[in-house]
Amino acid sequence: MNFTPTPEQLLPELTLRQEFVLLARALWREGYADHLAGHITVNMGDGTLLCNPWFITWDELRPSQLIRIDLDGKVVEGDWPAPLGIPLHLELHKLREDVGVAMHSHPLYGTVWADMGEIPPVYDQSSGLGGGGELILIDEYGGGVDNSSAARDAVVAMGEANLALLGGHGVFVLGSTIRAVHQRAVALEQRCQRAWHIRAAGGRKESVVPDWWLERGRTNDGNGFIGFWEAMARMELRADPSILDER
């Protein structure tokens, strides 16, 4: 018997705010957990962005705490201030209308490779599931997170890429949906983690993963792995069912 579940069969129906909070909490569990740092934005298609606020860590975020900001960073809905590093997202959404969801943070292994100025190899199949083309390195630090000029330079340097290591800073993961950004972010940190441990152990320098698998990962849009996002979202709902409470 062949059974291919739909996303609706794997998760309860979610509002955008609930899905946003599940993404933040799931990524915190995956190592995107640098205290108050880290921003997620969802393009609402009307010149505004749904955003996590300043002062709230991702593992405690609730749907009611999300804010909506315009492309100048002004809060137009919500009771919390915009995060300090939001210029990176503002410049991105001004230049990249194709991006529906953007996530910036400082996970341990991704940040280490960014700080070393190197792109880690893909050593195993799971690390290649990120999709979205090549991972690129932007090996310049043009200023603090609140510097709009430096933020714009970084976005321009990314071109059409959806995955970037930002030297002296962290990582930037883009996608059309929350599902895509989740898959790409998980695969990116796993890629960086495995590559670090392999290098530390004095292991092989070249990956045994075939080119056709790497190309398969590069050409997918991050939306095709039905079940992966849903399983991790269910884990967060088991840990805290009150996420579904919009209050």
> What is the pLDDT at residue 141?
63
Q: Could you give the CA distance from residue 143 to residue 234 in angstroms, rounded to a whole number?
A: 39
Q: Where are the beta strands (DSSP E) in the chain?
A: 39-43, 48-51, 67-70, 75-77, 101-105, 135-138, 163-166, 170-175
Residue 3 covered by a domain: no
Q: What is the pLDDT of residues 13-64, one digit of tens each?
A: 899 999 999 999 999 999 999 999 999 999 999 999 999 999 999 999 999 9
Tens of pLDDT along 211-246?
777 777 776 776 767 789 999 999 999 999 999 887
Query: Would you say 154 and 90 are in contact if contact means Cβ atoms under 8 Å apart?
Result: no
Evaluate whether residue 5 is within a structural domain.
Answer: no
Q: What is the largest CA-CA distance in the chain?
A: 57
- pLDDT > 90 fraction of the chain, expressed in percent and rounded: 68
Q: What is the pLDDT of residue 148?
A: 87
Partners of 39 in the beta sheet?
Answer: 104
Query: 132 falls in which pLDDT band (50, 70, 90)?
Result: low
Q: What burial class does residue 5 get, using C-beta atoms within 10 Å of its C-beta: 0-12 exposed, 13-18 middle, 19+ buried?
A: exposed
Q: Does residue 162 lie in a domain region?
A: yes
Give 105 or 245, the one with higher predicted confidence: 105
What is the C-alpha to C-alpha distance for residues 96 and 41, in angstroms, rounded to an integer?
A: 13
Number of H helices, E strands in the chain: 8, 8
pLDDT higher than 70, residue 139: yes
CATH of the domain at 204: 3.40.225.10
Check residue 21 and give its pLDDT.
97
In a domain, 141, yes or no: yes
The reported pLDDT for the residue numbered 1 is 54
Cα–Cα dist 90/87, whole Å: 5
Q: Which residues pair with 105 in a beta bridge?
A: 171
Q: What is the mean pLDDT of residues 192-196?
A: 95
Q: Which two tokens stand for residue 204?
A: 């092989």
In a domain, 4, yes or no: no
Q: Which of 104, 82, 110 is nearest to 38 (CA)?
A: 104
Say what the pLDDT of residue 69 is. 98
Strand-pairing partners, residue 174, are 102
Q: Do the domain assignments include residue 124?
A: yes
Within a domain: residue 2? no
| Amino acid present at 161 | A
Tell me what pLDDT residue 226 has. Answer: 78
Range of the domain at 194: 13-241
- Under a CB-based contact definition with an 8 Å cutoff, are residues 50 and 41 in contact? yes
Percent of the chain with pLDDT over 70: 89
**Residue 247 belongs to some domain of the structure:** no
Q: At what angle do helices 228-239 and 178-200 cross, to 10 degrees?
A: 90
Q: How many domains does the chain have?
A: 1
C-alpha–C-alpha distance, residues 209 and 195, integer Å? 13
